[in-house]
Amino acid sequence: MRLRKLLVGLSCILVLSSLTGATMCSAGQTVKILTYEVLATEAMEEFQQEFEKATGVGIKWEFASEPEVWDKISMEMIARTGAYDVFPVPFSKIAEFVAADFLEPLDQYVQNKAHPVWLDMEDFVPGALGAMKVKGKLYALPFFMWEAILVYRKDIYEKVGIDQPPTTLTEFEEVVKKTTIDLDGDGKTDVYGFTGRGSVEPHSTQSLTFAYSYGGEFFDKDMKPTITTPQFVKGVDLYVRLLQNFGPPGAATHDWWDIQSLFLEGKVSNMIDATTEWSPMFENPEISKVVGKVGHALAPQEKRPGGYMYVCGWGIPVSSKNKDVAWEFIQWATSKGFQFRGAVTGKKGRVDVTSVPVIQTKELAKDYPYLVPHPMVEAMNTVHPDYFPRIPEYTEVMTAYLREIQKAIAGEVTTERALETASKKIYDIMKAAGYYR
């Protein structure tokens, strides 16, 4: 009997304590963020006290590699447990999340300002903000963006007698050829003229920079693939040839980290990728063997700029139980004040900002004279609005495309054949998804 009373008493205490805990949690004191690490998130970690002091809300970070983040998001998209309040929304995947009704529309939140100076919609780079919208509705606020510029080895250019970085892709091919060199005279290439991603990752789309520059487009207005047009083929074929003839062995499977490592190791002369993010890294003597040797220029173009842009925003999953707190965090993390401090006074610094007033500051130009304003701001102004086709089938379409391009880079099929096969596959994917009725 005594035991039973004791058990009942203990149960009451447990129930009461759990209720108290629940009440405290529902007050929204912590914002849970799932993300991969980039310079922008590192700056947020460094300055998070600023947000915590202003709002009394704590931040709980969960970091994972990028593919792991997407796997976790896929699971949350199905399970909807409310495990996360904020997560990164790249503009390539935004349509996918919207199609699954997983992203909270933010238009209604925009009027609700947590802090008088945090949110100003006029601050954002227009292209970056536009990329966070689907059918006119806003789903995320951009917190970092990268552009593609040409990074090249000044010392190698000097060695082979090149005065100016190339401005057209035709010139670029010649430069790449000349800067593929054997430094020690043993008959083996020591520095490759070019490197780029060949891996089948949804964002390994650098071949599109070349195709768009020649005037190619991925889809026509009816969403039928147009990747077999002569201009598209010409651009992709140049990318493939440069990797095959002047790129490092194994280029067909190289990803973001591989090409970055190769450049940091001093094994590559030219690169056109998400290079504005990497440039500060090349000047860090702790990790780079090319400090002081890297030049920066606008990516060479043929008929028009290649238009590469990668934008990522913070979004709120519909399953979040702390949406208001999540919105407060997003406003702080994209505010010009924080972006300025992260870029200029942060330990690592960052140049991937999305706020126009920050990009225009003298301080940013002083810290990154090789990037701001030239060539970064010019690259920013010429981005292709649909560089990544914003459709829910993006990953499937891009996987079909990249698998064939990978075969071409590996030398197993010609570029024409690869694009013909990819085009058929993409047509079938789009047809099955109901685009052509």
Partner 1 sequence: MKKQDQRPFMILTIPCLVVLFALALIPLIYAIYLSCHNVTLRTLFSQPDFIGIKNYVRIIGDREVLHSLLISGIFSTSSVSLSLAIGLGLALLLYTSGGIQKILRPLFLVPMIITPVVAGVSWRFMLDPDLGVISHVLSVLGIEKQPWLSSSSLALLTVILINVWQWTPLVMLIIIAGLYNLPTAVYEAAQVDGASTFQTLRYITLPLLKPVILIALIIRTMDTIKEFDTIFILTRGGPGASTQILSIDLYFRGFKFYHFSEAAALGIIVLFLIIFVSRYYIKITGEA
By CB under 8 A, name the binding residues for partner 1.
71, 74, 77-78, 96, 99-101, 198-201, 248-254, 258, 261-262, 265, 267, 392-393, 395-396, 399, 403-404, 406-407, 409-412
CB nearer to partner 1: give 68 or 363: 68
CB nearer to partner 1: give 42 or 201: 201
* Shortest distance (Å) from residue 108 CB to partner 1: 21
Report the run of H or E that residue 71 belongs to, with start and end: helix 66-79
| Backbone φ and ψ of 138, nearest 5° | -85, 130
Q: In angstroms, rounded to a whole number, what is the distance separating the alpha carbons of residues 279 and 194?
A: 16
Q: In angstroms, rounded to a whole number, what is the distance separating the alpha carbons of residues 46 and 59?
A: 12
CB nearer to partner 1: give 58 or 411: 411
On whether the CB atoms of residues 426 and 391 are closer than 8 A, the answer is no
* Shortest distance (Å) from residue 435 CB to partner 1: 12
* Shortest distance (Å) from residue 80 CB to partner 1: 9
* Shortest distance (Å) from residue 56 CB to partner 1: 35
Q: In angstroms, rounded to a whole number, what is the distance separating the alpha carbons of residues 312 and 168?
A: 29
CB nearer to partner 1: give 198 or 342: 198
Query: Would you list the DSSP string of 78-97?
Result: HH-----SBEEEETTTHHHH
Report the run of H or E that residue 290 belongs to, with start and end: none
Q: In angstroms, rounded to a whole number, what is the distance separating the alpha carbons of residues 139 and 317?
A: 10
CB nearer to partner 1: give 223 or 356: 223
Amino acid in the structure at residue 69: V
CB nearer to partner 1: give 66 or 378: 66
Q: In angstroms, rounded to a whole number, what is the distance separating the alpha carbons of residues 255 and 199?
A: 5
CB nearer to partner 1: give 250 or 385: 250
* Shortest distance (Å) from residue 354 CB to partner 1: 28
Q: Name the token pair of 327.
A: 């919105």
Q: Sign of torsion, CA 128 132 133 139?
A: negative
* Shortest distance (Å) from residue 252 CB to partner 1: 4
Q: Which residues pair with 146 in a beta bridge?
A: 310
* Shortest distance (Å) from residue 99 CB to partner 1: 5
Amino acid in the structure at residue 355: S
* Shortest distance (Å) from residue 202 CB to partner 1: 8
- Of 231, 383, 367, the C-alpha closest to 302 is 231
Listed in order, strand segments (DSSP E) in 114-225 are: 133-134, 137-138, 141-147, 149-153
Q: In angstroms, rounded to a whole number, what is the distance separating the alpha carbons of residues 269 and 271?
A: 7
CB nearer to partner 1: give 262 or 325: 262
- The whole-angstrom distance between residue 356's C-alpha and the CA centroid of its chain comes to 18
* Shortest distance (Å) from residue 348 CB to partner 1: 24
CB nearer to partner 1: give 62 or 71: 71
